[in-house]
Amino acid sequence: MKRVTLLLTLMTVAVLAFARGGPESPMAGREGDTPVNNAWIRASIPGDDNAAGYMVIRNRNSEPKRLVRVEADGLARRIELHTHTMVDGLMRMQEVEGIEVPARGEVILEPGGLHIMFIGITNDFAEGDIHRLTLYFDNVDPIEADFIVEPVDYLGPDMHQGEHDHHNHDDHDHGSE
Ligand SMILES: [Cu+2]
């Protein structure tokens, strides 16, 4: 019987571990009206100082919100919010003071657009790693979300899904081995 109990315990641990790495983090889910989905960081190339992170932030509230700061203990010297703009025909990254999440809408951070910029990373971001970031907003409590590190050539999940079918796009959370 002992063996069965141990097995069940291991299974529970596995299920909990999976749940923590899910596309909608439990902390974000608990917060309720600001779910964070498809949160990922591009794996860094050894020697790279910087890395970028992406996600979809939804706002179920009737008030707009503004993401103003992202923090993560020890991951990087500095974490900024960036966008891309055309300067003299070249795509350039530029820091933004905040990222608006429209009322009853969403904002998408994705390659080539808005992103979280990790400057002076402490260690390489290795594929499969999960990092918990804290997202600070101007008018709601901070939210914690787990970001999974995806391969260097990963382009992001299909961003055009609605709120009702995002469970179809979960593969990237555990299919990267
Ligand atoms: Cu950037």
Q: Looking at per-residue confidence, does 16 or 159 come out higher?
A: 159
More confident residue, 32 or 129: 129
CA of 5 to the centre of ligand 1 (A): 49
Q: How far is the CA of 6 from the centre of ligand 1 (A)?
A: 46
| CATH class of the region 2-161 | mainly beta
The predicted model scores a pTM of 0.72
Model confidence pLDDT, tens digit, residues 6-34: 444 444 444 343 444 444 444 444 457 89
Please give the pLDDT value at position 139: 86
Round to whole Å and give the CA distance between 162 and 156: 15
* CA separation for the pair 59, 35 (Å, rounded): 7
Segment 23-48 shows an average pLDDT of 76
Q: Is 171 helix (H, G, I), strand (E, B) or coil?
A: helix
Ligand 1 geometric centre to CA of 94 (Å): 7
| CB-based burial, 134-169: b 16+ in 10 Å, e otherwise | ebebeebeebbbbbbbbeeebebbeeeeeeeebeee
| Ligand 1 center from residue 123 Cα (angstroms) | 18
For the chain, the domains span 2-161
Task: Please name the residue that has the structure tokens 């299920």.
Answer: 15
Q: From the CA of 119, how far away is ligand 1's center (Å)? A: 9
Which of the two residues, 70 and 14, has the higher pLDDT score?
Answer: 70
Q: Which amino acid is at 164?
A: H
pLDDT at 37: 95
**Tens digit of each residue's pLDDT (9 = 90 or more) over 55-66:** 999 999 999 999
- Band of the pLDDT at 158, cuts 50, 70, 90? low
Instruction: Measure Cα distances from 55 to 12, 74, 88 in Å.
Output: 28, 20, 28
* Cα–ligand 1 centroid distance for 115 (angstroms): 6
